Each structure stands twice: as structure tokens, then as C-alpha cells.
Amino acid sequence: MAITGLGPHGERAVPADQIGLSDADADAARNRHFSVAVVLHTTMSDWAKQELAGIVATLGRYGAAVVEVIDCGFDVDRQIAELQRLVSEPVDAVISIPIGSARAADAHRAIAAAGKKLLLLDNAPTGMLPGKDYVSVISTDNFGLGQIGAELLAPHVAEGGKIGVLAYGVDFFATHEREIAFRKWIATHRPDLSLVRGKFADVSQAKAATAGLLQANPDLAGLFAVWDVPAAGAVAAIREAGKTVPVTTVDLGNDVAADLAAGGLIKGIAAQLPYDQGVAAGIATILGLIDRQPPPWIALPGLSVTSANVVEAYQLVWRAPAPTALLKARKARKSIS
């Protein structure tokens, strides 16, 4: 799949599989024994675990040690405090996923100002500049993820229907791009559909936000949730309301994958490849540390997942065999066809 989105400053993406290290660069990095800290919004999710695995394995390959992994628990204040502490720690580089945009910017800037290399995952707070404030942003093509979400939802919505977007009410580049792309695809390819919007600031509110959206729009005929955890909340709200509204989302989490495989409300998923993203982040970090200037916007294409390829996609995304429920659903489908 091509990368369709532009970077946070309009950069054309360099695909992650095009960046690499020469043997000489790799040797140079190994001789310098770099130390790297990783700051994540959470370390509990499957996405974060795979992302971290990719980072750690790659840095290990090039002689760099991951000396700290920080779980911010989705708390921007905690992230700011941890970054302020890292400024005076003996680490050469920090890989971080900024939580929110404006508030976290200064704390991230301080890392680069202290002479350390800063690599960003998914999000560049508005006003932060590559080269000056950070080395690269490494991200899935979020614009592309939103397009996939729309493409997979459209066939399940009858002409003239009303569909909803369950949006994240926090200033976050990745989820904004998904929403903008979803809307654009629908406006271009299905201008017959009308659009309404529900918003949540915290994933725990996703179910209530969906319930509110259903109450205000009893004729809702489809929903796109900007990632899988709120999508699971949305599915619960739709079921509670006794309705069958098709849903698409982003990220192949276990709950939504099982629902997709079982022929539930989830009709399609735009998946990221977090391990591959972690590998790219690791390579970009090494390139930055040896002053080889990796591109400012390194992106990975999204993966379109339906019930037909959910098992294979699961293996690709999570690098593990699919759970029994997914395999059973696949077997059942095979025997029907």
C-alpha cells in the first residue's frame, strides 16, 4: 500500500523500509555503546509491547542499550516530569510518544536543547521542528489508516445513510489525521452519506459518547472509531441499545479482532505494524546518533484487515499465532466456502 499522508510539516514520507545502516555505520555505532531511554504513553497495550520489542531488538543489534523504559500512564504531567528528569540523565537519545500537543512540547524541546537526540513516535507537537527540536518522526501513515477505515465501512452503509465518527477530543496529530482522511474519503467517494461526530477525551468515555450519538441519531448506519479501545466501547454501547451498526476502526487489538472474525459489528480494521515501526525507530535513532540525519518523516503503510484475512494479519501484526477464536472462525468460513 502506498503512503498517502504528509508529515506534520508537510514532508513527503520516506518509507520505513528504505532507511538502513551501512556496515561501516553499524560498526561505528557499535563502537560507541550508546544509551537510549524510551518514553511511552503506556507500556501495557499490545501495541506498546510490540513497538518496544522492535526498538529494543534493533538497538541491541547496533550495540545500544535501552537503559530506561518509562510508562507515563497516559498522564501528560507525568511525561513532562520524566522528560525533565531525563535531561540530566546520562542517556544519548530519547525515543518518545508525546501525549497531547501543546503542553508536552517544551519538555520535549528540553531534551534536544540538552544535546540529546530526540526521536518521536506518531506525534510531533505543533511548533516543534525537525533538525532543531527532534531528529525524526516515525509513524504509521495515519492518513492512510483513516482512508482504509472509510473504504471498509462504505460497503456496509446503504445509500443516503448517516454515519458517525467517534473522535478523540485531545490535540493529537495521529488521531486528527485519521479523522480528516476518513471524512475526506467519504466526501469524495460517498457524497450521498451524511456525517455526525461524537467525541471522547478519555477512552473510558467512549461508550457513553457512542450512546449519546445513538440517542441523538437513531438512524445511525455506520461508525468509525479512531482506535480499537474506544471502538470496543462503541460496540458495547451499540449492543446495549439493541442496534446493529457496522463499525470500523484502527489497530488490531484482541477484542476487535475477535469481533471481526466472529462476524460481529466490527466490519474492518486498519492495522498498524508496531514491531516494524519500532525497528524503524531504532534505525533512525542510530542514524541520528552517528549524525547521519535520517529523514524527518518516516512512515509505514497501514494494513487493511477484514474477516477474510484476520488470521494472517494477526500473525503479521503481533508476530504470534492467532488465538483459537480467530482460527475457529476461519475454519467455519472455509467450510462454508
- Nearest distance from residue 317's CB to other proteins, in Å? 23
**Measured from the CB atom, is 47 or 143 closer to other proteins?**
143
Closest CA to 252 of 234, 236, 268, 240: 268
- Binders of other proteins among residues 5 to 24 (CB under 8 A) are 5-12, 14, 18, 22
Task: Give CA–CA dist 114/119, Å, rounded.
Answer: 14
Indicate if the alpha-carbon torsion angle 274, 261, 236, 145 is positive or negative. positive
Q: Which amino acid does the sequence have at 261?
A: A
Classify strands 266-271 and 303-305 as parallel, antiparallel or unpaired. Answer: antiparallel
Q: Which of 1, 44, 102, 216 is close enough to bind other proteins by CB under 8 A?
A: 102
Among 32, 103, 156, 292, binds other proteins (CB under 8 A): 292
**Options 44, 85, 113, 126; binder of other proteins; rule CB under 8 A:** 126
Taking alpha carbons only, the member of 249, 161, 245 closest to residue 211 is 245
With the C-alpha atoms ordered 68, 61, 116, 135, is the resulting torsion angle positive or negative?
negative
Which residue number, 4 or 249, has a Cβ lying nearer to other proteins? Answer: 4
Residue 129 as a binder of other proteins (CB under 8 A): the answer is yes
Nearer to other proteins, 7 or 274 (CB): 7
One-letter identity of residue 81: A
Q: How far is the CB of 195 from other proteins (least distance, A)?
A: 4
Which stretches of the chain are assigned E, i.e. beta strand?
Answer: 14-15, 35-40, 65-71, 93-96, 117-121, 136-140, 162-168, 194-200, 220-225, 247-250, 266-271, 297-300, 303-305
Stretch binding other proteins (CB under 8 A), from 62-70, 92-100, 228-236, 293-301: 293-301
- Out of 31, 88, 115, 132, which residue is the one contacting other proteins (CB under 8 A)? 132
Cell of 35: 544509551
Residue with smaller CB distance to other proteins, 124 or 231: 124
Q: Rounded to an integer, what distance in angstroms lies between the CA atom of residue 118 and that of residue 67? A: 15
Contact status: 162 vs other proteins (CB under 8 A): no
Nearer to other proteins, 249 or 307 (CB): 249
Does the protein bind other proteins through residue 131 (CB under 8 A)?
yes
Q: Which long-range contacts (CB under 8 A, 24 or more apart) does 104-107 make?
A: 104/76, 104/79, 104/80, 106/80, 107/79, 107/80, 107/83
Q: Which is nearer to other proteins, 172 or 318 (CB)?
A: 172
Which residues from 192-231 bind other proteins, rule CB under 8 A? 195, 197
Q: Counting contacts by CB under 8 A, is residue 171 touching other proteins?
A: yes
| Residue ranges in contact with other proteins by CB under 8 A | 2, 4-12, 14, 18, 22, 101-102, 126-127, 129-132, 143, 171, 176-177, 179-180, 183-184, 186-187, 195, 197, 292-293, 295-296
